[in-house]
Amino acid sequence: MVVCLYVDDLIFTGNDASMFDDFKQSMMNEFDMTDLERMRYFLGIEVLQSSNGIFVGQKKYVETILTRFKMDGCNSVNNPIVPGTKLCNDHGGSKINNTIYKQIVESLMYLTTTRPDMMFVVSLLSRYMECPTELHLQAAKRVFKYLKGTVSFGVFYKKGGFEGLNVYSDSDYAGDVEDRKSTSGYVFMLSSGVVSWSSKKQFIVILFTTKAKFIAVASCACQKIKLQRILQQLGHNQEGSTTIHCDNSSAIKLCKNLVLHGRSKHINVRFHFIRELTSMGVVEVTHCQTHNQIADIMTKPLKHDVFVKLRGLMGVCCISSINDALGIQFN
Amino acid sequence: MDKHKARLVAKGYMQQHGIDYAEVFAPVARLDTIQLVISLAAQKEWVIYQLDVKLAFLHGELNEEVYVEQPPGYEKKGREQMVYKLKKALYGLKQAPHVWYS
């Protein structure tokens, strides 16, 4: 049995139903409790459980923020950001109220808990909270337009399937037009659903694509170890090493090869952490084709068809599409 | 209307560090952990149940001496100058989440 505690809310699950009642009873004796039965709504996340899997989404929340920022009447668009867009500080642009902009970013941040497809654009928008201009507001409005068309999207975790963790790591190269730092992103998949994801601007300027990808793999390895430990504690041991998928073969070689080349010497020692892990066999970095690289969605604005494909691979879908495909009705 | 709700809230911003409170740290589950549990449950076809503690923060036992003024409109007649000494936490206290956890 597994129990998750969040201040006063707790959820529990497991394979032994008789333990549930004992646990519930002992909790009831200790505190005044509200029994909410099956999990439906936890920390603002809507949870729908069926015999085919579990769906998590934030439909109500999306509707609330669309109304709050008066975007409930807008037309919908297909992707949250125009492909190829590069945002910059836009010093000459007309300034807008940064309180409202901050509120927008903050509301969208919370949405990324069940919407990995929005992760990149939200973290991009959040870089300009200090001095937002009309340009940034337009970008934010596009996100709302995208939301308008994808209100009931969320992550669907299918039952059964592949057991282990599958990790994708990617980065762009010098994506930020001002300080020329790269963005790294990772996606963790457990069976068919995404469990952890991130999109983050790297904190140092990198001279080669290889190194940008290498750093992405290294930061992803830290998260991997953490999740692996939790999985172990949950009695879900994984045999062998976890695979990290990376689409840059030189970066992979850099992870495996202990020889320092003249051009890679200046990479900070901390990133050599990943080398130790590969030599110990904790992780294995393998090559994957760019078009199967799920983490791509965390690093750059993608074309519509690629975006939709990767979104689907992460398990992000519309609730009605599950209903149609599986012939089940969530209610 | 189903019910009326009122809550007595302490003015936590009046509290001074070292006098009225010391530790305020309270751990919570990280979201990716929760996501992991949900996806694991889905994979293994477990059902997830949920419980909620009513008025959780009021259960915490205070370690520090904290006094509160009498709530306006509910002063004890003839003892308006007196204050209450708290035994358990109130909403709004800085250490409320911490003592609830411990």
What is the predicted pLDDT for the residue at B46? 81
The percentage of residues in chain A with a pLDDT greater than 70, rounded to a whole number, is 91
Is residue A267 over pLDDT 70? no
Q: Does residue B7 sit at the A interface (CB-CB below 8 Å)?
A: no
Q: Does residue B48 sit at the A interface (CB-CB below 8 Å)?
A: yes
Provide the sign of the torsion angle of the four alpha carbons A92, A98, A104, A106, taken in this order: positive
d(CA A241, CA B101): 36
d(CA A81, CA B65): 54
**What helix, strand, coil percent values describe chain A, rounded to 5?**
40, 20, 35
pLDDT tens string A281-309: 777 888 888 778 888 888 888 888 888 88
Distance of residue B66 Cα from the nearest chain A Cα, in angstroms: 22
> What Cα–Cα distance (Å) separates residue B100 from each residue in A31, A137, A276, B58?
12, 41, 41, 8
Closest CA to B102 of B53, B62, B55: B62
Is residue A260 over pLDDT 60? no
Return the amino acid letter for B67.
Y
Give the β-pairing of A242-246 and A283-287. Answer: parallel
Q: Dmax of chain A from CA atoms?
A: 66
User: Which residue has 């507001």 as its token pair?
Assistant: A137
Q: Rg of chain A over CA atoms, in angstroms?
A: 21
B96: chain A residues, CB-CB within 8 Å? none
What is the predicted pLDDT for the residue at A326? 63
Q: What is the pLDDT confidence band of residue A162, given thresholds at 50, 70 and 90?
A: low
A37: chain B residues, CB-CB within 8 Å? 49-50
Residue B83 per-residue DSSP state: E
Token couple for A32: 């005044």
pLDDT tens string A78-100: 888 888 777 777 777 788 888 88
Helices vs. strands in chain A: H and E counts, helices first: 10, 13
In chain A, which among 129-168 make CB contacts under 8 A with chain B?
157-161, 163
Q: Does residue A289 sit at the B interface (CB-CB below 8 Å)?
A: no
Closest CA to A59 of A155, A153, A143: A153
Ranges under pLDDT 50 in chain B: none
Burial bucket for residue A281 (CB in 10 Å: 0-12, 13-18, 19+): exposed
Ramachandran angles phi, psi of A130, nearest 5°: -65, -50
Token couple for A146: 């995208």
d(CA A15, CA A25): 18
**What helix, strand, coil percent values describe chain B, rounded to 5?**
25, 15, 60
> What Cα–Cα distance (Å) separates residue A17 from each residue in A9, A14, A187, B47?
20, 7, 33, 9
Cross-chain Cβ contact A34/B51 below 8 Å: yes
Q: What is the pLDDT confidence band of residue A325, given thresholds at 50, 70 and 90?
A: low
| Range in A41-45, A72-76, A177-181, A260-264 with the lowest mean pLDDT | A260-264
In chain A, which among 45-74 make CB contacts under 8 A with chain B?
47, 49, 51, 53-54, 56
What is residue A306's three-state secondary structure? helix
Consecutive H or E run containing B87? none
Is residue A154 over pLDDT 80? yes
Chain B: residue nearest A23 by CA? B51
What is the predicted pLDDT for the residue at A242? 76
What is the predicted pLDDT for the residue at A34? 77
Residues A289 and A270 sit within 8 Å (Cβ to Cβ): no
Residues A113 and B31 sit within 8 Å (Cβ to Cβ): yes
Q: Which residues contact B61 (CB under 8 A, 6 or more apart)?
A: B87, B88, B89, B99
What is the predicted pLDDT for the residue at A184? 84
What is the predicted pLDDT for the residue at A258? 56
Q: Which residues contact A92 (CB under 8 A, 6 or more apart)?
A: none
Residues A300 and A170 sit within 8 Å (Cβ to Cβ): no
What is the predicted pLDDT for the residue at A328? 58
Give the β-pairing of A316-318 and A153-158. Answer: antiparallel
d(CA A171, CA A173): 7
What is the predicted pLDDT for the residue at A163? 66
What is the predicted pLDDT for the residue at A247? 80
pTM: 0.79
pLDDT tens string A142-153: 888 888 888 888
What is the predicted pLDDT for the residue at A262? 52
Q: Which residues contact B22 (CB under 8 A, 6 or more apart)?
A: B63, B64, B95
pLDDT tens string A193-243: 888 888 888 877 877 777 788 788 888 888 888 888 888 887 777 666 777
CB-CB: which of A13, A35, A196 is closest to B37? A13
Cross-chain Cβ contact B40/A231 below 8 Å: yes
pLDDT tens string A164-174: 778 888 888 87
Bridge partners of residue A13, in order along the sequence: A2
